[in-house]
Structure formats: structure tokens, C-alpha cells
Chains A and B, each alone.
Chain A
Amino acid sequence: MSYIDELVTALGKEKVLLDPSERFVYGADWSPRTPDEFIPPDVVVLPRTTRDIQRIIKVAYGNDVPVTAGAGLTGMLGGAMAIYGGIYVDMTTMNSVVEVDPKNQTIRVQAGATLQEINDAVQPYDLWLPHQPESKWVSTIGAAIACDNDSTFGVRYGKILNCLLSAEIVTGTGEVLELGHRKAHFTSSGYKLKDLLAGSEGTLGIITEATLKLEPIPATRRVDMIVFPRMGAAVDYLSRLLKAGLCIEAAHINCKRRLKFYTHSYRQKFGKDPIIPAWAEALLAIAFAGDQEVVESQRNYAVKISKDFEGQLVEEREIVDAWWASKYTLDFEPFKQKWPDSQKQKKFGAADPGVPVGRLEEFYHKFVDVAEKHNLEIIGMNAYLEHPNSIGFSLSCAVFVDYRSADEVRRFREFHDELSKLAVAFEGTMSTFMSDSNQKAPYLEVEHGASLKYMREVKRLFDPKGILNPGKKFPREVYKG
């Protein structure tokens, strides 16, 4: 009996997709790749329960077959691509809400629930999950954990670990484990194995359920833009706001070039790009949220202080609204959605390094140099503040990639690698929201040095046969055999 026959027996044929056309559809994510670079898995399975996941892993374990879990297929670096074939587990079929607990402000969901579905479930209780990447309509909570992706509201609520209280996983041997601290917000007990899941890319286990901390929905929100002559001035300004005691909800420092990518609806409306002062090199989008009076007071104080840093408020609301639509509300004119419109000739591609706060501007210039060296059209940089009440940021260093050109896709990957390594040389990190995937796997040692061998041991403990998403983080041969 082949392993596929075993899967059909274990799950039922309606949960197993084998047709080449069906498998093909699951063979590409959002990462820059040419249209003929689809990597279809050998079989796609549609689990409904944790028990189904266990059955899948048992079959894979018994047959040494790779298992890769994915969901929205919006990954930017191929993290959920089954690069060695085998079984692709589509987690979107596991999207049930297990429990909403308004009193304790938590929700328990299956890992395939999209971030939007979670918010739809808790909104009636005046609660929300503030982990909000642009892909929230499609990306799932399991993917948010496994990828450790970005959020618009990180400066107030942090990254996914700030929301994740507990998670159920199925390990590479088929064992079901609950990692975390139930509904308590933190723990000092034991090792924090739950934290290993953030950015694990499904290499330690398949996340099947998660308990998440919710927040009260603020009554009002005010978003503004302030332009600065330098990126460093925007950083200094934000530092000053935090020192002043303001509670910022969202803060994004865009380079001047990046603005164009976020103002699609402005162009739709006015037929031209927005105009900002010629001297402005950095554009800070900043939001405050809460009760009206508090918001107004904080916002007015922030605007007043901005003058001390040569900041100037953007008065044209349509620019701000267009940026916010692109970043958060996704409220575009019907049939004129931003994404395909902006990707017709070339597509978005990025590196996601992190650097020390004082070196943002210096790194920005390096990004421009590296992109130009690889002959790539620059979209620009966005520094997202992702740590609660501090200036720590994720960097999205974005370029347009002609994905119909194999040569340009190759140059993009070289650009990504060069910038990632450069960030480590800047005393930073290679990745802040895309994780490693197979792209960074060959040179992970650049960042982690000798500690990499401990990571390999951790991996071996959870996945002794190396069947879980092989090739991600570490080259597959490390585990084979």
C-alpha cells in the first residue's frame, strides 16, 4: 500500500486531492517566482481536526514523506512551499472557533482561521485581535505564528507572541502537545517552548489550535502623516513621543519612494501621484486610538512636538486616507483593488531585515545601493514599529521584480541574500517578518553561529525524521537518514 493509499484510508478520499491540476494550484505562494516555477506537492490533504493532522503525520512518519502545512499561500518567501514534494496540508479547512471567552478576553480557534475570521467572531463582544498584517483577509493565525509576520499595530500591541497565550501542535512523530500558559498572560514556569513556534515555519510541528489574547476595540482612531527631512529625524521624533508618555497605536516610517506604493486609491481618484514637499525624505504614518478626548489630546501634542524635529503635518487628508486604505482598511473602490493593479508588469518583492534603531538611515542608503547594484526598480523602505512602546522596527526593503524574467527573479534573490547578511553586519538580524524559508537556510550560520547546532537539536527533538517542511531553516540533508 502506498503512502497515498494510506492517507486515503486514514482520512477518506474526499479529503485527499491528487489530480495534477489541483496539486498545481497549491504550488506557489506570493514570493517572487516565474510563472513556470510552480512546485506542486505530490498530494494535498484537507484536514478538519487535530486527529486528522495526527493521522497525516503518522502516515508521513511511517513512510519518511515530507509534510508541509500551508494556508493562504500569501507567504513572501516560499515558507509554506513543499519544495521536496510530499504532502501539502491545507490548514484553511480547519477554521472553527473553539471558544470565545469575553470575560477573560481570549479566543481559542483552529489554526486555519483567518485573522479576519477571528475578528469577525469577537467583534460582537467589542474585542479584537490587533495582529493585523495587510494579508489579514487570507492569512491564518497558524501562518501568523509560524511565519512570525508583521502587524500594523505593533508599536502598541507587539508581534504575534504578544497575543499568543497557548498553542496546540502535532509534532513530527504525531504527538499532540499543548505549549503555553492557558489563559494566563505570561509565565515564569518551565522553558517557553510556545515561543519557539513563532517563526518556526512548521518545522517543529503543525500548529492546530491557538488561544489568543484579545484587546478592547478603541472607540476612535486618528491617523496622520508627518514628513521629515531625514529618516533619522523621524526616529528621534518617535523616541521623543514615547519619552513624553504618548501611547502610539501604529507608526510606520516610509521613505519618500515608498509612498507611491501605498497611494493607489489617491491615483484612482485624482489621476496623479500625491505631492509632498521636495525636501521631505521620510514620511511617518502615525495613529492614536482610544477615547476621543484622549486621542485628540495625544495627537495634538504629537503634532506640536513634530516641529522640534523639522516635521511637517500632511494636511491633504486624501493622502493619509489612501495610505491607510492600503495599509489597513483595504477599502478600495469596487473592482479597483490595489493589489493586482500594482502588480501587472512587475511584482512586489522584499527583504525583511532588522537593524539597530540608530542605524536606520545608514541602512536605508545601503538598501538603495544594493537594489541598484542588482538592477532592480526600487519600491522603497518601510520601517514598521513592531515592539510595544519602543522603537524596534521591522524593515521592508522592497523592489519591483519582473517575475516573467528568470534573470530578474535570480537578481532579486541575490539582493535579498545580500541585504540579509548586511543586516547582521549592522548588528541586526536577517529577518523580522518573513522568517527564513529555504532562501536563508544556506547561510543561517551567518546570524546564529555556533547556536545553530542547538537549533538543529531542538528540531531533531520535535521532528526526529526531519519530515516537517524540510529544507526550511536548515538544508534538508542535515536530517535525512
Chain B
Amino acid sequence: MSGLEEFKDELETCFGTSCGFCERGCPVYQTMKIKTLCMKGRNRTMLGLLQGRFEITPAVVQAAFECTLCGNCDRWCSLKNTEHTQAFREYLLKHGVEPMKEHSSLAASLRNYGNPWFQPRSARNRWTKGLNIPKAAPGQQDVLFFAGCTSAVTKNLNRSLVASAKILQKADVKFATMGQDEPCCGSTLLRVGQTDAFNELSAENIRKFESLGIKKIVTACPGCFTTLKKSIEKAGSKIEVVHLSQEIASLVKEGRLKVKKSSERMTYHDPCHLGRLGGIFDEPREIVSSVANLVEMPNHGYESRCCGAGAGLQSAFPKLSRDLAAKRIAEAKATGATTLVTSCPFCETQLRTVPGIKVVDLMELLHDAALDVDRSNGNNRKTT
């Protein structure tokens, strides 16, 4: 028994319970109002499929893939719903369903370029220019800064990485990067159901980290954070995985980074992978609160609503994805905040597609408020 069948008892428990409490916070269901697109309905679809009640149809495929895997359903439940959905996707692919063309192209890019965005491997190293960050070598460093594909190869997201590196340097944190050899964490593969390819990539990644003697990985991207953390723990490796916000918040708290606080109202959007799925809620807020007046959206923390970018939704269902972003932006605007702060390149890019509020990366925000940190663009270091 493997994959979806492994969850049959849970699917039956959901059927037996039928509380539907997953509906309330599900961003896709609340937009589409079709029960196959909330977790209760999706669990039923899986159950019906395993019972042989119907064949795989386009509606079944839609039920599996029209979900951001944001985990809001899990917050209100004791079942492993997002794992069910991932297993559902894997099941469909193994039962003859062709991967969605948008998802196939992400996977093809990953195979050929080592990132899902069709950017040459050399692009991954671009952001480090002029920052004098050592490249990881066996036994030379304990801490690896893991930039992640999206921020590294997307030019307008590089600023966040530069800001992060400068803040770490200012606080005298010794770290290295893997430069253009940094691999993809595989999150995309995992979310779109390509589990075998993910497992292969993940095992290779862990071998690389181990061979470099890494003791701690600091990730900039929440997706990398949860993916690496879970796979490294599952593999029994002792490497610690933390998100950048955890590392930096302690520096602010310990006074190793002096910042100027303004009275500007800002709200914080919890990226699903960092907050609900990663359990990191306080540290990003401590950072925002250190530089601005933090106001919360009604749905925050565990109840935060997904921006709509995750799990292949943005690529395969762009209209729905944008609708989700628009709802989140509306919620942010209603707080009266001038700025929405987030700490995920996907959320940042996605939320910027909807006008109405300034969207800022957490590290850029901190960098701009820091009193004695290098503000150059990375090519020429100077202290202001």
C-alpha cells in the first residue's frame, strides 16, 4: 500500500466527520464555491476514486490541482489534508494523467537549468556580485545561506538577497553560499505531484550538503525552508534548517543590528510555507514591529490567507490565482496600512500583480531601516 491508498482511512474519517470546517478558510473554495475544490470535497473525490465510483476525468484532475496546498484546511483539522492532495496528484500522474503543460515546463526547466524559471545556472550567482561571500567548500563553513531559485534568478528579487546578505554580514554572521552550484530544493516538483523526481533530487541535495560539512542552512525562501527542513529531517540528517527571519530576528533582539523605527502603519502577510506550514509567526513580526507600526489583517497567523501563488496554481490557473491575490490585497488595504510586508518571493511577486498597496520584502524593509548597514547595490561596499 502506498501513495493515496495509504490515506484511505483518513479519507473515510473525513467522510465520517463531514464537518466541512475546512471550507471557511479555503481561499480557492471561497472564490469558486464548488465543493470539489475544498478539502472535504477533495477527500470525497479521492475516496470515490479509490472505491471505483468513477473514472479519472478532467473534473477529477481539476479537483486535484486547483489548490495552493496552503494548509488552511489542516489548521482546522487533525487529518493530513495537504499530504492527501499531494498524494492525489501523484496518483493521477501515475495513472496516466499527463502533467499540466505549465507544470511540465517547470519540471523541464528544473532538469535542464537547475531552476524552474528557464534561467541559466550562471544567473543564480548574479546577486552575490561584489558582496564578497565565500563559496561553500568542504569543511570551510558551518552556515550555508540558501538563496532559492526564484529570488536568485529573478533580477527584481535580487535586492532582497543582497539586503539579507548585508544584514548578516553587518551582524558578523559567518556564512557561505553555493554560488551557481546551489541546487533547487525541489518544492515545485513535490507540489505538482512529481514525487519520484523530487525524492531523487532531494537525496542528491542532502548528499551535497553533507559533503560540504554544512551544520546549518539559512533559507531566504519559505518554500525552500519547509521543503529542506522536512526532507532533511526525514533523511535523518543532523543539519539544522532555519528561515532567515529566525536568524535575523535574534540579531535585532540582541541589539546586534540597530534600526530606526517609524510610525508608518504596515501589515504583515504570513507566507503559507513560513507561517502555517513552517510554524514561524513571531520572528517576522518582531522585525516589522522593530521598524514600523504593525497592524494585523483579520486573517493572520494560522488563519492567514494564501496569496494564490503556491503549488502550481499561478502557472496553471492564473485567473483564479490573481483573484486570490486581489482578495488578500483588499484585506491588507482595509487595515489602513500603507505597506504590506512579506518574506517570500512568490508572495511578493504575486501580491505585486494587484495594485493598491506597496508590497515590500521583510529583509529589504529591515535593511532600509538599519542605521549602520551598507546601502550600496552590492557592487561597491561602503558604510553610510
Residues on A facing B (Cβ under 8 Å): 17, 19-22, 24-26, 28-30, 35-36, 38, 46, 72-74, 90, 92-93, 95, 114, 116, 135, 137-138, 330, 334-337, 339-341, 343-344, 346-347, 403-404
Q: Interface residues of A: mostly helix, strand, loop or mixed?
A: loop
Q: Are A340 and B57 in contact (CB under 8 A)?
A: no
CA distance A73 to B43 in the complex (A): 14
CB proximity to A under 8 Å, residues B1-38: 9, 12-21, 23-24, 33-36
Which residues from A are CB-within-8-Å of B76? 337
Q: Are A135 and B19 in contact (CB under 8 A)?
A: yes
Which residues from A are CB-within-8-Å of B44? 24-25, 28, 38
Give the distance to chain B from A344, nearest Cβ to Cβ, in Å: 5
CB proximity to A under 8 Å, residues B263-290: 276
Contacts A24-B44, A29-B18 given: A138-B24 contact, CB under 8 Å? yes
Q: Are B17 and A343 in contact (CB under 8 A)?
A: yes
B302 contacts the other chain (CB 8 A)? yes
Checking B15, B60, B302 against A334 with a beta-carbon cut-off of 8 angstroms, the contacting residue is B302
Checking A114, A116, A336, A339 against B19 with a beta-carbon cut-off of 8 angstroms, the contacting residue is A339
Q: Are B75 and A35 in contact (CB under 8 A)?
A: no
Contacts A19-B57, A25-B41, A116-B24 given: A341-B78 contact, CB under 8 Å? yes
Which residues from B are CB-within-8-Å of A20? 53-55, 57
Q: Are B77 and A340 in contact (CB under 8 A)?
A: yes
Residue on B with the closest CB to A402?
A: B16
Residue on B with the closest CB to A138?
A: B20
Give the distance to chain B from A29, nearest Cβ to Cβ, in Å: 6
Which residues from B are CB-within-8-Å of A343? 13, 16-17
Give the distance to chain A from B22, nearest Cβ to Cβ, in Å: 9
Q: Are A36 and B51 in contact (CB under 8 A)?
A: yes
Contacts A335-B75, A337-B78, A404-B12 given: A17-B20 contact, CB under 8 Å? no
Which residues from A are CB-within-8-Å of B110? none
Contacts A22-B59, A116-B24, A343-B13 given: A335-B78 contact, CB under 8 Å? yes
CA distance A116 to B30 in the complex (A): 13
Question: 1/0 per residue B39-75: CB within 8 Å of A?
Answer: 0110011011101011101111001000000000011
Contacts A73-B35, A337-B78, A340-B78 given: A21-B15 contact, CB under 8 Å? no
Which residues from A are CB-within-8-Å of B75? 334-335
Which residues from A are CB-within-8-Å of B45? 21, 24-25
B interface size (C-beta, 8 A): 41
Which residues from A are CB-within-8-Å of B55? 20
Q: Are A344 and B13 in contact (CB under 8 A)?
A: yes
Q: Are A337 and B21 in contact (CB under 8 A)?
A: yes
Q: Are A17 and B34 in contact (CB under 8 A)?
A: yes
Which residues from A are CB-within-8-Å of B35? 25-26, 73, 90, 92
Residue on B with the closest CB to A264?
A: B78
Contacts A21-B48, A22-B59, A343-B13 given: A335-B74 contact, CB under 8 Å? yes
Q: Are A46 and B19 in contact (CB under 8 A)?
A: no
CA distance A460 to B16 in the complex (A): 35
Which residues from B are CB-within-8-Å of A138? 19-21, 23-24
Closest 3 CB pairs of A and B: A19-B59, A20-B54, A138-B20
Checking A24, A95, A137, A335 against B53 with a beta-carbon cut-off of 8 angstroms, the contacting residue is A24
CA distance A404 to B51 in the complex (A): 13
CA distance A46 to B32 in the complex (A): 10
Which residues from A are CB-within-8-Å of B131? none
28 contacts between A and B (CB under 8 A): A17-B34, A19-B58, A20-B54, A20-B55, A21-B54, A22-B59, A24-B44, A24-B53, A35-B15, A35-B47, A38-B44, A46-B34, A73-B18, A74-B19, A114-B24, A116-B24, A135-B19, A138-B19, A138-B20, A334-B75, A335-B75, A335-B77, A337-B19, A339-B77, A340-B19, A343-B16, A344-B13, A404-B12
Give the distance to chain A from B302, nearest Cβ to Cβ, in Å: 5
B212 contacts the other chain (CB 8 A)? no
Give the distance to chain A from B201, nearest Cβ to Cβ, in Å: 27
Residue of B35, B40, B74 with most partner-chain A CB within 10 A: B35
Checking A22, A36, A72, A137 against B34 with a beta-carbon cut-off of 8 angstroms, the contacting residue is A22
Give the distance to chain B from A428, nearest Cβ to Cβ, in Å: 28
Which residues from B are CB-within-8-Å of A17? 34, 59
Residue on A with the closest CB to B57?
A: A19
B100 contacts the other chain (CB 8 A)? no
Which residues from A are CB-within-8-Å of B23? 72, 137-138
Residue of B16, B34, B51, B53 with most partner-chain A CB within 10 A: B16
Give the distance to chain B from A173, nearest Cβ to Cβ, in Å: 27
Give the distance to chain B from A112, nearest Cβ to Cβ, in Å: 9
Give the distance to chain B from A95, nearest Cβ to Cβ, in Å: 8
Given contact pairs A24-B48, A28-B18, enumerate 10 new A-B contacts (beta carbons under 8 Å).
Answer: A19-B58, A19-B59, A46-B34, A73-B20, A95-B33, A137-B21, A334-B302, A340-B14, A340-B77, A403-B12
Give the distance to chain A from B297, nearest Cβ to Cβ, in Å: 14
